[in-house]
Every structure is written in structure tokens, then in C-alpha cells.
Structure 1
Amino acid sequence: MSTFDIKSVGRLADAKPRPDGAESPCSACSVRHMTVCAPLNPLELSEFSSITNKTSIGAGSPIFDEGEPAEHVFNVTEGLIKVYKLLPDGRRQVTGFLIAGDFLGLANEETYAYCAETVTPAKLCRFSRKKLEGMLQRYPQVERQLLSLASHELAAAQEQMLLLGRKTAKEKIASFLLRLSARYDKRGLSANPLHLPMSRNDIGDYLGLTTETVSRTFTQLKTDGVIRLLPHSMVELSDLDALEEIAEGL
């Protein structure tokens, strides 16, 4: 399978340099302050946009698969994406859920180390890896921003190890809801109630729980008055203090 399924995402226009002084379309991006483009001034951003392809992709569509050539990297500007690895025995480990402002596709090797798939309809900025590397030589501040993003990824991975290894099912679900709420809030999205479009199976594969345990735990939190399950995959965090105490194992 190719990195992008043309039937899914439509034809991508070739990037073209913008006229001098022309305002970059990236300047209107609501999450630009969180992306790799954040350190650039308007003139630099205009040049940077010449290597950018913007695309939309439907829900449940692959972005890339593990083992494919790592030819592109992506800024997520809208929607929710899950990243996961397939284990030798056929099981799946979801390693993260990416939302607007997150960076996708960093690879140390020549191939992607994981799979990425949309959960909801999504919008992304796609960069050629080779062209981006050329830009990094011209704009070291972007390279520093990439290093910062990679450091945040490492910190998130360490938190995930703690979540998987030391917490009960109830503590895992509470921690997951609080962390996702905080990430939404940082991006100016609704943090409470929060949108939870991923399936219970996806959440289970992320937290190391069975689908049944995830569903049972949500029901228990609802019965206890800690959360409310609303229409359209929305979840209200009704008692934040109680949820925080559960997450901390108190």
C-alpha cells in the first residue's frame, strides 16, 4: 500500500514557491504555535509553505503502514489519528492518539516504525522528508523545535509505560481521560465535555485492557457520578476531583 491512497485523500497539488511578500496560508493555522512551523516569522513561513501539501482524509483511512519508506512527515491540523504497532502474534498495541498540533512520521531509519490511521476525518500538512531536511539546514530554529517535539514524544512514552505497568484499570481510564482533556484544553478545544471518538477496543489496545474491561470501567465511573456519557461520543468529567484521586490511586 502506498503512503497515501489517492482514492481516499484526493490528488495532492505540487508545492510551488509563493511570490515575495505573499502571506502564507499557514499564518491562519489555529495550532501553528504548537507545530514545527512555530519559530518562523511571516517571511520564513511563506517559504516554508512552498514545501507543504495540505490534505484532507476520511475517517478510518491509513496514512502509512509500518515498514513503508519514511518519505514524508506530517503536522496534524484537525481530527484524531491513532498510531499503533502490530505484534508478531497478531495482536495490536495502540501507542498513541494524535490531535491537532501533533507531529507525525518522525523516523530514525528509512522506514516507518509504526502504522498511522485516522479515527475521525482529519486534515494534515504533509512535508517531503528530504525537502524538510534541507529547510532544517537553513532554519536551525525549526530543527530545535523538532527536537522539542521529539522530547515531548519521549516524555509521553515514559508516561505510557507507567500507565501500562503500575495502574489498575480504573486508574488507567481516569488518567487517560484527564490527559486527553488537558491536551484538548491546550489546543483551545473543548476539554469538558471532551470528544472521545475512538472505540472502546482502541482504548483497550492503548491501555493494555480488554474491550470488556474498558466498557465495564466506563459504566462504573458513570454509576459513581464521576463522568457522564453524552451523545456524539462526548464525555463529561462530572467530578474532576474524584477523577484525579482515582488517577493517582488515592
Structure 2
Amino acid sequence: MNGPDPLLKLVADSGPLCRCCDLEDSAFCAGLSPEGLRRLRSIRGNLTCEAQETVFREGDNAENIYSVVEGCIKLSKLLSDGRRQVIGFLFPGDFFGFSPSGAYGYTAEAISPSTLCRFSEQRMKALLATTPELEQRLRTRLVMELAFAQEQMLLLGRMSAREKISHFLLMLSRRAVARQDPPSPIAVPMSRLDMADYLGLTIETVSRTLTTMKKDGLIALPSPGIVDLLDRDGLHRIADGRDGG
């Protein structure tokens, strides 16, 4: 009789968070071998956050890095004039907190009740040196972070409010699909103020534009925090600057 499957044993030994996690295709640990998963789990801790709870602040010592298991995390920076710029929203499977400078370059705050995997940065660096597959996963996540940053630069450029919000909603839809969620309706857990700070708009402009898009049949707002994309082609035309509305 053969012995127990080592992969099944790994799952059985991985603790409640790993056993219940359904992010095997999108999280930082996706695609790792059983041995890679075992090594990663050996340095993993868990963190739960309430809505509006701060994970870390800009300038804090970068002692840990994180992966989102449940919920939504907001990243923001303070500008020199005291204004806040939201620079990103993170969802299950997203990875954040790695800082080559030794200090966090932004503040991370939970938008909704959230569960995170937490890893000591020092222990993670030591693990990366001996686990090439994990190092490759980290490189992939950092490339994704760069892509998100470039996308925000586009949003803050010479787009109209209608173009920015269409692009933003389609971006959330693409990220939902990457998590194997439906493309619509999409969860939009951030407040309209957070959306405004991310898109470089005022809260009044965000609210007015969403209302107009609803009247035009582009979207529906069935409940707080949910947006149904009724006319994806129309949203794409607007986001690409091909609509005169």
C-alpha cells in the first residue's frame, strides 16, 4: 500500500487559513511546489483587520510583507502639501509591503474587514535566497505592481472624469476575472471619496458622473458597494476616448 500523498499531507498540515484559501491560482503562493509551500508556510503569520484599521503607515520600518486573503486594502501617500493621494486598491491574491529602502513608502489601510498572510521581511529575504521558484513569484508580483502603477498614471493623465471612471470600473472587472470572479457585477468596496482621491477627481464629480452613467444605461447600482456593468462596449468606447459623451 502506498503512503499518504505528500501534497495532501501538506494541505492537511497547512492550518485553517491555507485549507480554506481558494486563491491557489492568483495568490503569491500560486504554483509553488509542495516543498516551496512548506517553506513559505514556515514563516507565515495571520493578521485580521477591521474596516478602517491601519496595517502600517508610510515611513514605518518595513518589518513585514503581506498577501491579501480576504477583504480590500487601500494604499495611500501624503503629498508635500498635506493632501492624500490614493495609489492603489488591493484584493485577494494581491501582495504588498516589500520595500528595498527599509521603510514603507505608503500607508496601507483596510477598507473592509480583511484577512492577511503576514511574512517577516528578513525571513522572506533569507527564504528567497534558497528558493528560486519563490523568487520568481516575487518578481512576477513586482512586475504586476509596476503595471498597476502605470495604469494609475494613465488615469491621472489627460482623461475626462467619464473616461477615468469607465477605465477604473473596467480595471476592477479585469481584476475580478483574474481572481476567477464574474466580470459583472463587481464589488466596489471603496468609498466615493477614495475613488476620487485615486482618480484625481472631486467626490462631487465622481458622484455626478456615476449618476449620469446610470441614467445612460451604462451601469446599474443595485446595492451599496456593487456596480453592474450593463454596457461593457460602451464603457470601453468611453475609456478609449472614442465616445463624445
Same fold (TM over 0.5): yes
User: Per-residue deviation at 1:116?
Assistant: 0.4
How far apart are residue 237 of structure 1 and its match? Answer: 0.7
SS for the counterpart of 2:62 is coil
Of 139, 142, 146, 2:134 maps to: 142
Q: Contact (CA 8 Å) 2:222, 2:228: kept in 1 or not?
A: yes
Number of residues of Structure 1 aligned to a counterpart in Structure 2? 231
Distance in 2, Cα, partners of 1:185 & 1:33: 12
Picking from 94, 111, 122, the partner of 2:103 is: 111
Please point out which of 54, 64, 74 is paired with 1:82. 74
Aligned residue runs from structure 1 range 113-132, under 5 A: 113-132=105-124
- Would you say the 8 A contact 2:67–2:96 is kept in 1? yes
User: Cα RMSD between the aligned structures?
Assistant: 1.5
Calculate the TM-score normalised by the size of structure 2. Answer: 0.90
Distance 1:185 1:206, change over 3 A: same
Structure 2 residue 71 is the aligned partner of structure 1 residue 71: no
Identity %: 47
Shift of 1:27: 5.4
1:207-226 per-residue CA deviation (whole Å, 9 max, x = no partner) reads 00000100010011011010
Q: Which moved more, 1:227-236 or 1:165-174?
A: 227-236
> Match for 2:29 among 14, 37, 47?
37
Instruction: Determine if contact 1:23/1:46 at 8 Å carries over to the other structure.
Output: no
Is the alpha carbon distance of 1:27 and 1:141 closer, same or farther for their aligned partners in structure 2, counting shifts above 3 Å?
farther
Matches of 2:177 and 2:26 in 1, distance apart? 13
The answer to whether the Cα contact below 8 Å between 2:75 and 2:88 also exists between their aligned partners in 1 is yes
C-alpha distance in 2 between matches for 1:45 and 1:151: 21
Which stretch of structure 1 is more off in the superposition, 107-116 or 33-42? Answer: 33-42
CA contact (8 A) 1:204 1:211 kept: yes
Aligned twin of 1:23: 13
Shift of 1:139: 0.4
| Distance in 2 of aligned mates of 1:23 and 1:195 | 33
Instruction: Name structure 1 gaps, 5 residues minimum.
Output: 1-19
Shift, 1:28, TM fit: 4.6
In 1: Cα distance, 2:187 partner to 2:136 partner: 32
**Residue 220 (structure 2) pairs with residue 228 (structure 1):** yes
CA distance in 1, matches of 2:14, 2:131: 17
SS at 1:75's partner residue? strand
Residue 90 of structure 1: CA displacement? 1.3
Seen in structure 2, the aligned counterparts of structure 1 residues 232 and 212 have a Cα distance that, compared at 3 Å, is closer
